[in-house]
Amino acid sequence: MKHGYLSKLISRTWKRLHHHGHRHVRRRPYILPIFGLLLGAAIVGSIVVAKGGNTYGPSNSHVVFLFDKGKKTTLNTKAATVGDLINKIPLKLIPEDVVEPSRDTPIEEDNFRVNVYRARPVTVVDTASRTVTLTAQKSPRVVAQAAGLPVYAEDNVSFAAGDINKNILGEQVVINRATAVQLNLYGDPLTIRTRTKTVGELLKEKEIKLEQGDSIQPVAETPLSPNIQIFVSRMGVQISTVEQAIPVVTQTITDASLSLGASVVRQAGTPGKRVLTYQIETKNGQEVSRKIIQQVVIQEPVPRIVARGNAVSVTGGRTEWMVAAGIASSNHGYVNYIVSRESNWNYLAKNSSSGAYGLCQALPGSKMVSAGADWATNPVTQLRWCNGYATARYGSWAAAYNFWIANRYW
């Protein structure tokens, strides 16, 4: 039955009831039950919706766990992203507050975790100076940069508890600066930073190897002091220097406060720099060859830090299905992640464009008959097939999950 016809029928019935009043109902007592049935059918029909070619029902809403100010709030929402959810809640955020995961993160599963971190005053201690900043950041380096202080890769930056003896209340970030050194490398002036103590230790750290004909001033035993001048020289040769970028390396950390698959960039990272020094051979004023005589890292790269969630919370019915399908409990989080995004756990989901069907969107759906004749209507049968597919194609559910993360399909 079409929804348009139902709507018109309900509308006409309601108008007749309203027009004739209670007398009409008393004469026709069956009207109200029929009206109730029609209204119920219309409501049920209206909440079965289509999304991306897949039919979901009865609702595309998701359960979200919101953590804020030490409290956990359970929400039922149809928000498509974290940002949509945050915009619908009167959280009274300020620009310095942090929401994780990022606002553009899609909400595609139940028991999805959203964390709100409120800004707090932090004192940044840089040698003799102190700067108070309002922040919710988790990286001490990011906090220092937000306070307007330049921070280099060689500097040590860390959180510390307040010190009442120094009149520092609350949290503090302490910057332990590396020593800045002025290195003249074959006539090329370079500023480098180090935590070594002597000229010789610096040369070893930077892998500067002196060859025959090279000289070093001051001598290797000389203690380093801020902005000390160090000269590495080679007489009677032509030198060329090329600066090269060192790419940022990503460090991934596991965070149990984030849902499995969710990720947050905690520190953006910055590229480093290295200098390549060539000795040039010429003939009749033309370069005929060159060779590298030094490769010196003058600025270490700052890593990009990404927190990746591993929190798993699967509802009872889904867990029972997975157990019945023979899926190991250690894989439930991976299965929940993939199935939530493929079908929203609707075993009748069908993609009207491709024909993919079921919990895992098998294409065609009929291939799941290998797991059981009731593949079209039994979620356990479908999961049994999905389990075989994941292990046969990817080797494991973990590998299937990693593939889905990278490609948004499987």
pLDDT computed for residue 3 by the predictor:
44
The C-alpha atoms of residue 277 and residue 205 are separated, in whole angstroms, by: 17
Task: Collect all residues with Cβ–Cβ distance below 8 Å to 188 and sequence separation of at least 6.
Answer: 239, 241, 275, 277
pLDDT computed for residue 158 by the predictor:
96
pLDDT computed for residue 317 by the predictor:
83
Residue 126 · residue 149 · CB < 8 Å:
yes
The closest alpha carbon to 142, from 291, 270, 8, 316, belongs to: 270
The C-alpha atoms of residue 254 and residue 265 are separated, in whole angstroms, by: 12
Residue 312 · residue 336 · CB < 8 Å:
yes
Which residues of the chain register pLDDT less than 50? 1-10, 13-15, 17-35, 37-58
Please count the residues of the chain.
410
The C-alpha atoms of residue 407 and residue 393 are separated, in whole angstroms, by: 15
Strand partners, 311: 259
**CB hemisphere CA count around 114 (13 angstroms):** 29
Task: Collect all residues with Cβ–Cβ distance below 8 Å to 69 and sequence separation of at least 6.
Answer: 116, 118
How does DSSP classify residue 54?
Answer: E
The C-alpha atoms of residue 342 and residue 355 are separated, in whole angstroms, by: 13
pLDDT computed for residue 51 by the predictor:
36
Which pair of tokens denotes residue 176? 């332990």
pLDDT computed for residue 2 by the predictor:
40
* Residue-range domains of the chain with CATH: 3-46 (no CATH), 62-117 (3.10.20), 120-176 (no CATH), 237-308 (2.20.230.10), 314-407 (no CATH)
The closest alpha carbon to 49, from 346, 338, 315, 356, belongs to: 346
- What is the rounded radius of gyration, in angstroms, for the C-alpha atoms of the chain? 33
Rounded to a whole number of angstroms, the distance between the first and last alpha carbons of the chain is 36
pLDDT computed for residue 237 by the predictor:
86
Q: Per-residue pLDDT tens for 344-372?
A: 898 999 998 898 999 999 999 999 999 98
The closest alpha carbon to 100, from 119, 88, 83, 87, belongs to: 83
pLDDT computed for residue 23 by the predictor:
43
The C-alpha atoms of residue 124 and residue 175 are separated, in whole angstroms, by: 8
How distant is the alpha carbon of residue 118 from its chain centre?
19
pLDDT computed for residue 61 by the predictor:
85
Residue 186 · residue 137 · CB < 8 Å:
no
Q: Where are the beta strands (DSSP E) in 263-303?
A: 263-267, 272-283, 286-299
pTM reported for the whole predicted model: 0.67
Residue 351 · residue 54 · CB < 8 Å:
yes
Which pair of tokens denotes residue 233? 């020289």
Q: Per-residue pLDDT tens for 271-327?
A: 999 999 999 998 888 889 999 999 999 999 999 999 999 887 777 788 889 998 999
Task: Collect all residues with Cβ–Cβ distance below 8 Å to 340 and sequence separation of at least 6.
Answer: 108, 109, 110
The C-alpha atoms of residue 351 and residue 363 are separated, in whole angstroms, by: 9
Backbone phi, psi, residue 97, to 5°: -70, 155
